[in-house]
Amino acid sequence: GTEITFEERKKAIEALKNTVFTISVCGVVKAGKSTFLNALLFGNDILPTFATPMTAKLTFIEYTKDPHDFFEVHFYSKEEFTAIENALKSDKDPKAYQQFKERLEMVGERGFTKNKWVGHVPIKDDDLNKLSEYVADPSAQVNIAEQKGNYTPFVKEVHISIHNEAIKNVRVVDTPGLRD
């Protein structure tokens, strides 16, 4: 075999130090994925946790050099939203489409409409406590009174950037529950 030189080894180690690794947290609905990440990364409840499954939202958590944490919300394009609607309409189980329509009606009554938010440019916010506005289930009992989750039906994914050295070379992905 070929011998690896000290210089080649040193280059490989440096390359690994600068590589970002992705860790995806997966599990069935209500397995404690977000609770685990809240304890591990934030020390408090930044990622919403619910007694009922949420709409599928991928949440990416990455390190930032910026001393201020922030998040960025990405909305579905018109094409993506139409594809989701069509997929739910043609699903064998009509319950999913019914839930989808109910959520749209609920947030629509609050002034949050498909025409306004589908295809919207990303929104950046420095207040992580506002995250639930974008990922909370608007039809969950706990959120109805507080009218949280108004944007949720239109959100594709959220990117959270935190100043936490522990995840400097790691990208954490909080996934929707399996079978959700």
**Model's pTM, two decimal places?**
0.75
Mean pLDDT of 56-60: 75
Lowest mean pLDDT among 41-55, 78-92, 138-152: 41-55
pLDDT above 90: percentage of residues in the chain = 29
pLDDT at 125: 95
Give how far Cα 67 sits from Cα of 70, 72, 116, 162, 173, Å. 10, 16, 33, 8, 21
Mean pLDDT of 126-135: 85
pLDDT above 90 (res 118): yes
Give how far Cα 140 sits from Cα of 33, 35, 150, Å. 18, 18, 12
Strand partners, 62: 161
Mean pLDDT, the chain, integer? 81
Residue-wise pLDDT for 10-55, tens only, equals 888 888 777 778 877 777 666 667 677 767 666 666 665 544 444 4
| DSSP symbol at 171 | E
Mean pLDDT of 97-104: 90
